Chains A and B, each alone.
Chain A
Amino acid sequence: MSLKRNILDLRKRKEKVLQGGGEKAIQKQVAMGKLTARERVTSILDEDSFHEYDLFVEHEARDFGMEKKQLHGDGVIIGTGTIYGEPVCIFAQDFTVAGGSLGLMHARKITKIMDHALKMRVPLIGINDSGGARIQEGVNSLAGYGEIFFRNTLASGVIPQLSVILGPCAGGAVYSPALTDFVFVVENISKMFITGPEVIKTVLGEEISMEELGGARVHSEITGNAHFYAQSEYECFEQIKKLLTFIPWHNGKKAKAFPPKPPKPEYKIEEIVPADPTQPYDIRNVIKAIADDSDFFEIMENFARNIVIGFGRMNGETVGFVANQPMVLAGVLDCDSSDKAARFIRYCDSFNIPIVTLEDMPGYLPGVDQEHMGVIRHGAKILYAYSEATVPKITVIIRKAYGGGYIAMNSRHMKADFMFAWPTAEIAVMGPEGAANIIFRKEIMAAEDPEAMRKEKVAEYKEKFANPYVAAAKGYIDTVIEPEETRNMLLHSIEVSNNKVDRRPEKKHGIPPF
């Protein structure tokens, strides 16, 4: 007997399941401007590299007429493949099958591929496009979510976890992306919220659209839940692939090195930064003047823009940049920017990526709303993250480094490995105006012309303290460098930090100010 018949039978079965939710549902998906789950997977992965598992999984629900329904693959695709030749695990919820709703077997498929990713130490990419829990399956679907969240937490800091929101992701389902490292959203397609517009309207009487409540723009600008924003799914896939070039496959490895390239000549570091500390500039141009090929891959570009985070390369090796942005809110630290920076610092530390900090900030954002929102505990996250990090940590103070912000931004006191300052650096307890007003209050008040006296005293303070040399005299700064020397000093300091060993007290884990 030949095997032919069995093979043909297999092919027929496969063909049937590969249709997902069928022609009509696929048309609906396309009409919404979305790709199908399978198209998404194959677009992200190297050509012909996708291998699917659990194709023949079926649900066991027996209530509410579910016993008569066959849901192909139970609404999710799982498998392995490669990106730039390196292995990854991937799952994609299939909205064409019962709205991508999550039942027990659907969740089991996801946790199977998660377990695999963790065991094999490869990145996990999750594509979310689901109406939420499969209500007919009751508590089984809740159990499913719980099993996913638990694995997200186990894998955190061991393998990179990327969440791609390409459809609705609502209710409890949002917590899987929230537990992962990077969340990608696409305009008009991604929708994330805990309670949707319908519920909000019935319960609270507030009317809001899905897009306004939890669309891509909201999560990339206001909530900070998303790290990458794209106009189309294809742009999003490019972002995923680019991100993967910067990060290692697991926490026991370093990111892949690329051939070193000098920065592009149009970024002239001395021309970017004004000497007057009150004048703005775009700190990203300084990063581009330092990084290989002037290639800076920014993360959370639209959220808390007063701090800039992202990856670049120095001498071909990945570096994480954390930089105050004088162009936005004068580069102050506040609740949002502290959260943004702290999480990124922890990411770099988990995945063996050296951190370069560029500092130019006037302190913390004053205001009742900041204080009442808890700028104390949020601000503490930066201190915690820098202190805890044991990867090479290098700081360049460009201009202002005032007060608590100076300490927080990877100072020597947080155990920075190298501290460099430009001659324009001002390392002081506060800006000259504020300091002079306090120190010379009596003299200013007693003067015949208080305004003239104030100016004189501000100038006196500036002369004395608004420079890098007081800190350098104490060894808090290792050396004062010319702006042009910045790249070379960084290259050298990263090179000599290559075998850095920094052991910390043994503990189960710390208690960061979450």
Chain B
Amino acid sequence: MTTEQDAPGQIHGLGREPKLTDDRVTMAHGSGGKAAAALIKEVFMPAFSNPASIDLPDAATLQVETGRIAYTTDSYVVQPIRFPGASIGELAINGTVNDLAVTGARPQWLTAGFILEEGFAIDELRRIVEDMRVAAEKAGIQIVAGDTKVVPRGAADSIFINTSGIGVVPSQRTLGASRLEFGDRILISGPIASHGMAVMIARGNLAFTATIESDSAPVNGLVEAIYDAINPESVKWMRDATRGGVATVMNELTKASGKGVLLDEEAFTIEPQVQGACDMLGIDPLYVANEGCFIAVVSGEVAETALAALHDAGASQASIVGEVVRNPQGLVAVRNAFGGTRLVDMLVTDPLPRIC
């Protein structure tokens, strides 16, 4: 005869590991209950598991060397969430890794927060998480903590991701606009404008199509290559040329330093299909977002060495694109192939296509 004490053992599934049976995200996946546990166990842990997060503590504890750390955060809301060359997941890793790398830090750890819209396909979530795993591995960093929230349908646009990252800054690495000197040279690590144009085209409302892939990539390896090749003190300033593109980053530099920048338009590499798309829409590639290329300002006498290091590290299209100059003071100018010079000002708003 069964007694009341035996009953729990007879109830099917009690005490068993929760299983993920849904194919869409529901409000229950953000509730902290079984559905949430199943999502973490089956989607996130297989990709992100590491010693710091294996027991799912409330916070990861990390061993740091003495010295300085770099700490940053960024949120990713790109639409569409998948486009030629990358996805929101890959972007969420590379973007934060690159923000750390261009401050001179070696990126080490990332956290990932997900805001999911009710109804989001779990298969798509798996693919995004897999993209993040691959990107993290490529960049050599660990994802040590995470969080998931689900919001009702319409309260978010499919998926938003926030990543925060910590990197360790080796001593001797000090960057800053105040360190600029006239004659410093400006290096760029690769072709420009492909990410922004890839996303615009992937949105699918243009009257033309073109095969343009986002340049999304981690740049920490390239940054290390520069530091390995030249005296760390010769590296003055770095920035990844994301939103607002090269033009915006250069304007930030001239505003902060009070010095001028003269760019050589011909020295930039722009893929022909990217240039074509920009021309058709009347958009200046200097203002278009990049996700895998950065700008480094280095002492003039070591610029060629730094460039060679970038080439050797695989950035075959890296180039020297300009110089820190006395005039125009506090402004960015670009010299074109004809010898004409124009000003490159801050953008007033997002680049919107011209009508004719």
The reply to whether chain A is a binding partner of chain B is no
**Residues of B in contact with A (beta carbons under 8 Å apart):** none
